[in-house]
Amino acid sequence: MTTAATPEPTVFVIFGAAGDLAWRKLVPALYNLFLDRWLPEKFLILGQGHRQMTETEFRRHLRQGVDQFSRRGKTEKGQWESFAAHLSFVASELDDPRAYTNLAKQLAALDQEWHTRAHHVFYLAMPPGMIGTVTRELAKARLHLERQRSRIVVEKPFGQDLASARALNLTLAANFEESQTFRIDHYLGKETVQNIQAFRFANAIFEPVWNRRYIDHVQITVAEQVGVENRGHYYDKAGALRDMIQNHLLQILCLIAMEPPISFDADEVRNKKVDVLRAIRPIAPEELHRFAVRGQYGAGWIEGREVPAYRSEPNVAPDSSTESYAAVKLLVDNWRWQGVPFYLRTGKHLQARISEVSIQFRPVPHQSFPPAAMMDWRPNRLIIALQPEEGILLRFEAKYPGPSLRLAPVLMQFYYREAFRITPPEAYETLLLDVMRGDATLFMRADQAEAAWAAITPVLETWEAIRPTDFPNYQAGTWGPEAADDLIAQDGRSWVMPTFLQCQEDLAICRVTMAPGS
């Protein structure tokens, strides 16, 4: 949420530049920043990879990625060529000290050529196993010394559990200051996720009702239609809890539950989020069945296409007990949220790709209307739609037109695309620009990453200790295992049918007649 301008002259070093992340996300994002004139004039993307590649091959490879994944679609020749002039590649091994001394020399030479002291971003687009080696070698080559000008960026997964996340933090801290360390959670770069703060803290009318007195419960759904795709190697060791809940869903929860910050200073915002994570009530192992449900997809149908079971996916163990679905109920033990459950759910190969936060308000304290008027009555609900639709909806009651007194739920709706008529930037565009500007507000601080692991550790450990006996327990293309419905039903509630799914068909009708969920 920065308001600053173009970054200083920058060399953006990508370790693992021939890999998938650079191809799909990083370079398309940098290309769009370039087209939108956010990059400084003196700018170089220096790719490192262990495979020998000529500069021409490297550029061609990246162009294919941009053509496929840029929000703008295919590149235009002239624009690509101006951008490609800022791309350079060097083949080296990550554990070869000479690669780092050469890098230091190259960076010094660029400073001379540019007549400036450029900022250096070291982006580690690689599995976590190599983070230690790269940070140590960077430090040995004295590339960490400029506290204000050099930064290191680390991707998720940030560890496998609390212990490994702590070890990673210690490795990073041994060589770089926390202020130089940027841990990515790409959900924090999404416009709609950032908008939660704008919605909560730039408006006076919601804050007075944003607490246990008025809110009955909160649901956070991040449903995916994709399966594990080609990521079986990684995913089968991770699972939905590690892959999505520990980071993306908990970060959304933090934004919904945090206290208003005094300012948008990076540490102030992150302090407030850490407070939320620390207030999450630990789940006792013997109570776990009342608080968490896991699932794994069997074969099924997604949009008319038959898809295989999780256990038949490439690089997944045929008897895998990894969960592709997780639902948890969390309680936040503080004054604001005491007794208000937060239900989180996420899964792969679900019926639709949809991410929504649903905030359900309590019923009115006294019903003055006659029972006949109340047949369709529903409590107020605020929906923050994160993707693919982006917007905010408020469900409230209105009088149904006609001579008899009858109430009906209606929706007040805000859509990004209608209100602003621009294509918002991709999450990585926002995040990479913030790294270059040195603004860490949207990145995970060391204690934040650890507190998020601590919050899910009881679930993680219990699931690891007890092998599931019912996998696969949901069919691909459905909304997940039945046990997840039971989890919420035991509290007399049900999962909200994602609102935009109901609205997609006919917005006009939806506006008047929809009574989403119950």
Among positions 264-283, residues that touch ligand BG6 (CB under 6 A) are: none
Q: How far apart are alpha carbons 4 and 152 in whole angstroms?
A: 20
Q: Going residue by residue from 169 to 208, which x/- string records binding to ligand BG6, judged by CB under 6 A?
A: ----------------------------------------
Q: Which residue is nearest to ligand BG6 (CB)?
A: 243
Residue 427 CB, nearest distance to ligand BG6 (Å)?
7
Residue 197 CB, nearest distance to ligand BG6 (Å)?
19
- For ligand BG6, the closer of residues 156 and 378 by Cβ is 156
- For ligand BG6, the closer of residues 243 and 390 by Cβ is 243
- For ligand BG6, the closer of residues 124 and 283 by Cβ is 124
CA dihedral 411, 416, 417, 420 (to 10 degrees): 120
Catalytic positions: 248
- For ligand BG6, the closer of residues 99 and 240 by Cβ is 240
- For ligand BG6, the closer of residues 231 and 290 by Cβ is 231
- For ligand BG6, the closer of residues 229 and 470 by Cβ is 229
Query: Can you tell me whether residue 95 is helix, strand or coil?
Result: coil
Residue 240 CB, nearest distance to ligand BG6 (Å)?
8
Selected binder of ligand BG6 within 155, 243, 429, 439 (CB under 6 A): 243
Query: Can you tell me whether residue 478 is helix, strand or coil?
Result: strand
Among positions 141-160, residues that touch ligand BG6 (CB under 6 A) are: 156
Tell the burial category of 27 from Cβ atoms under 10 Å away from its Cβ (0-12, 13-18, 19+): buried
Tell the burial category of 334 from Cβ atoms under 10 Å away from its Cβ (0-12, 13-18, 19+): middle
Q: How far apart are alpha carbons 271 and 261 in whole angstroms?
A: 9
Q: Going residue by residue from 203 to 232, which x/- string records binding to ligand BG6, judged by CB under 6 A?
A: ---------------------x--------
Q: What is the 3-state secondary structure (H, E, C) of 177-239?
A: CHHHEEECCHHHHCHHHHHHHHHHHCCCCCHHHCCCCCEEEEEEEEECCCCCCCCHHHHHHHC
Residue 446 CB, nearest distance to ligand BG6 (Å)?
19
- Name the phi and psi angles at 403, rounded to 5: -70, -25
Residue 32 CB, nearest distance to ligand BG6 (Å)?
16
Q: How far apart are alpha carbons 428 and 456 in whole angstroms?
A: 26
Residue 126 CB, nearest distance to ligand BG6 (Å)?
15
- For ligand BG6, the closer of residues 58 and 416 by Cβ is 416
Which ranges in 1-71 belong to alpha helices (H)? 20-21, 27-35, 55-69
* 16 φ/ψ sector (left φ>0, alpha ψ -120 to 50, else beta): left
Contact criterion met (CB below 8 Å) for 464 and 472:
no
Residue 156 CB, nearest distance to ligand BG6 (Å)?
6
Contact criterion met (CB below 8 Å) for 207 and 200:
yes
Total chain residues near ligand BG6 (CB under 6 A): 3
Amino acid at site 166 = R
Contacts of 354 (CB under 8 A, 6+ apart): 221, 223, 385, 387, 388, 389, 498, 500, 501
The yes or no reply on residue 323 touching ligand BG6 (CB under 6 A) is no
CA 5 to chain centre: 25
Residues engaged in binding ligand BG6 (CB under 6 A): 156, 224, 243
